[in-house]
């Protein structure tokens, strides 16, 4: 590891100035829970680290009429502990609460969870199902992109953290009757990556599901949307158990889990997916009724 400088900008403008000064040789760091192991394993070798956690207004959670604005420095613990958010976005608060351990959740950010681009990253799976977007600042100006569109492969994000900075994550507020839910299956409840995880978001009108979003991980090279399963739910009544069962089976067929020593064989993981998808869709559906 050969970090020559550790810099702590106080504003986005200063951060961009520093990134530009290092011409791609500096990297942003938030909680460091993904970055530091990569540095130690010499997978990356920036000459400077730019700590984004002290940027003004970077760590807040703000609810507005249109949705939730999550500052790019907000941690999983902040989101997991917010009981108000749990009423509208339980998928997100549950996903954040399932990550690592209290020590990890206290420093690790949702932004880092997105940029690290792991297909089973818990918060990212929930953010994809909730149709979240990120705000990005770069030397070329500001832009917005859907979380779902930021993946270029396993561990490969389209965000270039040596040139640009995510400033916030925006989760839209559901306009109609809506329910969302998140679940994961892992050998232990804490300090353990998921064997599979899943999230569901349903919107309902006149007792019919008019929009169904599902996201699964880690069963592809990114948080995966099983579109055939989503299509089966669309138009069904929220308590149509046959449609929910069919969606769960389709989702497990569409997914492509790998056999791994850590997570078990592909067939086993597909069986788990059937159970988990059924559970999260039923949970989301039950929330519609409230
Ligand atoms: C012991 C352990 C257990 C874990 N368990 C889980 C788990 O159960 N589930 C799970 O999903 N993850 C888990 N993780 C992974 C990790 O904690 C999460 O992915 C975390 O959310 C990463 O956030 P961070 O703030 O630490 O990111 P960092 O490590 O600081 O950064 C990660 C990447 O994001 C970039 N970045 C950070 N902030 C910005 C920004 N504002 N703009 C642009 N780029 C930025 C960095 O440059 C870097 O490339 C675990 C990690 C450890 C070490």
CB atoms within 10 A of CB 174: 18
Are 175 and 87 in contact by the 8 Å Cβ rule? The answer is no
Whose alpha carbon is nearest atom 34 of ligand 1? 112
Residues lining ligand 1, judged by CB closer than 6 Å?
27-35, 52, 72, 99-100, 104, 108-109, 111-113, 115-116, 121-122, 159, 161, 165-166, 193
CA distance 246 to 38: 41
Are 136 and 145 in contact by the 8 Å Cβ rule? The answer is yes
Using most ligand atoms within 8 A of CB, pick from 116, 183, 187, 223 the residue to mutate for ligand 1.
Answer: 116
CA distance 246 to 131: 23
CA distance 78 to 93: 9
According to the model, what pLDDT value does residue 217 have? 97
Are 263 and 251 in contact by the 8 Å Cβ rule? The answer is no
Alpha-carbon dihedral angle through residues 57, 88, 172, 250, given to the nearest 10 degrees: 130
CA distance 119 to 122: 9
CB atoms within 10 A of CB 260: 12
The Cα angle at residue 142 between residues 67 and 22, in degrees rounded to 5: 125
Whose alpha carbon is nearest atom 7 of ligand 1? 99
According to the model, what pLDDT value does residue 1 have? 55
Are 273 and 255 in contact by the 8 Å Cβ rule? The answer is yes
Task: Give the list of residues 6+ apart from residue 201 with CB closer than 8 angstroms, or none.
Answer: 91, 129, 130, 131, 178, 179, 180, 211, 212, 213, 214, 284
pTM of the model: 0.97
Whose alpha carbon is nearest atom 41 of ligand 1? 166
Atom of ligand 1 nearest to the CA of 100: 5
In order along its 290 residues, the chain shows pLDDT tens digits of 579 999 999 999 999 999 999 999 999 999 999 999 999 999 999 999 999 999 998 999 999 999 999 999 999 999 999 999 999 999 999 999 999 999 999 999 999 999 999 999 999 999 999 999 999 999 999 999 999 999 999 999 999 999 999 999 999 999 889 999 999 999 988 888 999 999 999 999 999 999 999 999 999 999 999 999 999 999 999 999 999 999 999 999 999 999 998 889 999 999 999 999 999 999 999 998 77
């Amino acid at each position: 590891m050969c970090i020559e400088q550790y810099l702590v900008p106080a504003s986005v403008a200063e951060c961009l100035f520093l990134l530009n000064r290092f011409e791609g040789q500096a990297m942003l760091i938030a909680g460091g829970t993904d970055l530091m192991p990569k540095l130690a394993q010499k997978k990356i070798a920036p000459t400077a680290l730019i700590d984004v956690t002290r940027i003004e207004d970077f760590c807040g959670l703000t609810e507005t009429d249109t949705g939730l604005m999550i500052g790019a420095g907000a941690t999983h613990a902040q989101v997991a502990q917010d009981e108000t958010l749990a009423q509208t976005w339980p998928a997100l608060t549950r996903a954040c609460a399932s990550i690592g351990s209290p020590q990890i959740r206290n420093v690790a950010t949702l932004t880092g969870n997105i940029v690290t681009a792991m297909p089973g990253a818990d918060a990212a799976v929930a953010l994809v199902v909730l149709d979240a977007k990120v705000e990005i600042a770069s030397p070329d100006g500001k832009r917005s992109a859907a979380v779902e569109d930021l993946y270029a492969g396993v561990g490969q994000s389209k965000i270039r953290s040596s040139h640009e900075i995510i400033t916030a994550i925006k989760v839209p507020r559901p306009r109609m009757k809506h329910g969302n839910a998140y679940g994961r299956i892992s050998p232990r409840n804490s300090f353990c990556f998921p064997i599979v995880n899943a999230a569901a978001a349903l919107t309902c009108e006149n007792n019919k599901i008019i929009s169904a979003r599902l996201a699964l991980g880690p069963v592809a090279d990114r948080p995966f949307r099983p579109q055939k399963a989503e299509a089966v739910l669309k138009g069904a009544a929220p308590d149509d158990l046959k449609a929910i069962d069919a969606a769960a089976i389709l989702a497990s067929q569409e997914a492509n889990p790998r056999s791994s020593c850590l997570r078990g064989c592909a067939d086993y993981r597909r069986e788990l997916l059937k159970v988990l998808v059924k559970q999260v869709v039923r949970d989301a559906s039950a929330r519609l009724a409230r």
